[in-house]
Amino acid sequence: MCGIAGFINLNNKNFEIDKNLLFKMQEKIRHRGPDDAGIWLSSQRGVGLAHVRLSIVDLSLLGHQPMIDKENKVIVSFNGEIYNYKNLKIELESLGYKFYSQCDTESILYAYKEWGIDFVNKLDGDFAIALFDILNNKFYLMRDKVGVKPVYYGLQNNILSFASEIKALFALPWVKKEINNNSVYDYLTFMVTPAPDSIYKNIFKLEAGSYLYLDSNKNIEIKKYYNLLENINLNNIKNNYNNENFVLENIDNLLNNSISKRMMSDTPVGAFLSGGLDSSLNVALMSKFNSKIKTFTVGFENTQELEELKYARQVAKLFNTEHHEIIITEKDAFEFFESMVYQLDEPLADPVCIPFYFVSKLARENNIKVVQVGEGADELFFGYKIYLDYKQFYDLFWENSVKFIPDIIKKYINIFGKKFINNSNYLEILYNWANNRNLFWSGAIAFNEYQKNIIFNNKNLDSFNIIKNKLKNLSDNKNFNKDFANNITYLELTLRLPELLLMRADKMSMLNGVEARVPYLDSKLIEFMLNVPVSLKVKNNVTKYLLKKVAQRYLPDNIIYRKKVGFASPIIKWFESGRYFKKYYKDLLDKEFKNNSLFLPAIKNLDNAYKYHESGLAVQKWTLQNYLTLKKINSL
């Protein structure tokens, strides 16, 4: 795991590369790679690369990056891990390539030389790769299949700039820090700006399974090299995939293989352990491959969730791990908050960022550079109750009513219903139903469209366009079973997971120089699960049914079947009676209206604006607070 950055001049005339700018980019992301750093530049070609390294595989200087081949034809700067690099190395050695290190980066160099850009399809790993073909004057920027590793790029002043984190781009004088109002609107719904946009104008995220290609004539093209839907086979549904035992055996084997290969490291590998199903099963399987695992748990002072620590201790004792805990306070969280917003680069309104940071810090303090985490299990195995609620509502009412009630009748029902419904969530559902829009958008929504119209000073925007574009990919694919539950899984895997959950995991762990690996999001496991019929994923209204059945082979029932408790911060309590965040949020709102604002005055009293609300609108307030803090610390 590392940090990459650089820029390329797109003008044909000579461009003097300022190495001091590369050093500045490097320093902005130094936390991602505290072990080593390097730059490479060519003013003749108008290219500069900067790298910071977190040494995990081959700790020697032979793993130094940027790495160039012995013929000076190809240079690469790579962030991540290639889990099948040893197999690639064997294949490439049989083709005549000589290796000089034991690190996975070298396999990328020779794989590209042998197979061209198609080599990316051979990689099994989590990565962001910048590769410059010196001989042919071509450049590639790549992101892994699932989107575990982030990478950003921008095009300003005819210069292509890129980096693992946006803050490195702002070290360049030609990159301007200007808010994209359309992105703010989408952020308010999805709690993050969906790719390819970022919160800033002219700065973009490379989408999962994609690469940017700059040809020798300086033309830029974004290409998709991996699509989840291309690995769906409806014929499978008619065969073994309806057999529960077959499915369970394959999940068990695939998960074991995923966890085993993510043990690849020349430093010890630990695990985050909440005591819930996902993290506990992960630890159980890790213990098969290493009997000396360190586990890490975080809790908040004076909350009911502290009771959950006993389950983590139970699992740690069961598998004889070296267990560590940290208890944090509202004061700890508040003192970190503004730094958190800065380090995230753009607002990411998931309160889990706070405990994720502190538990990562605890791991690093105990000499752990690599951890395995449970991200993705709920999304892949249909684990959230809200998924089940959506599915039951869709099956009982939505599906047939949308089909058989004429559109004109639905629109009249919508108009009539507004007079009797006060709940803004129900009003949004009614509007979507009447206008044939999707029922499910995301497992984490802050403000729906109805709510945004009350507080946002622009009525011409619509975040449904994000969902519509995603669903078009589904409708164009003939192999995908377009069951409503599969639509939920697809939207979560392509929208919420890469840009919200995986982004928080990367940014908060790497801030401490820790690499977070996600075994539940191995591409082979994902592809298998997308072929499993919904009738097995949700059985007898039991969420995460298949994973629970697999877990019965390794864990006691009180861990598997206990009530699910989220791994989050107690933001409801903080906003209602906290000493720090309650006042901080009010002060931010007061400051917002001293200058021109994107928001309407209704934002000052959300309780009044929406009449009905749950949990004191804590998620909505946290979402606003993150954005307003970004403005504050950047003087925007």
- Tokens representing 68 are 């160039």
HSE toward the beta carbon, residue 150, CA cutoff 13 A? 34
Residues in the chain: 636
Q: For strands 138-143 and 210-214, give the pairing.
A: antiparallel
* Burial degree of 376 (CB within 10 A; 0-12, 13-18, 19+): buried
- Residues β-bridged to residue 35: none
Given a contact cutoff of 8 angstroms between Cβ atoms, the answer to whether 625 and 584 are in contact is yes
- Residue 2 catalytic? yes
Q: Amino acid identity, residue 439? A: L
Annotated catalytic residue within 2, 120, 315, 560: 2
- Tokens representing 504 are 């928080």
Measured CA to CA, the distance from residue 345 to residue 336 in angstroms comes to: 15
Nearest to 372 by CA among 313, 314, 290, 317: 290
Q: For strands 159-163 and 2-9, give the pairing.
A: antiparallel
Measured CA to CA, the distance from residue 379 to residue 360 in angstroms comes to: 23
- Residues β-bridged to residue 37: 52
Given a contact cutoff of 8 angstroms between Cβ atoms, the answer to whether 446 and 349 are in contact is yes
- Output DSSP code: residue 605: G
Give 179-190 as a 3 state SS string.
ECHHHHHHHHHH
Given a contact cutoff of 8 angstroms between Cβ atoms, the answer to whether 362 and 214 are in contact is no
Nearest to 52 by CA among 510, 527, 604: 510
Q: Amino acid identity, residue 360? A: S
CB atoms within 10 A of CB 339: 12
Edge-first strand order for the sheet with 2-9 is 36-42, 47-53, 2-9, 159-163, 152-156, 203-205
Given a contact cutoff of 8 angstroms between Cβ atoms, the answer to whether 127 and 149 are in contact is yes
Nearest to 189 by CA among 583, 508, 633, 499: 499
- Tell me which residues are annotated as active site: 2
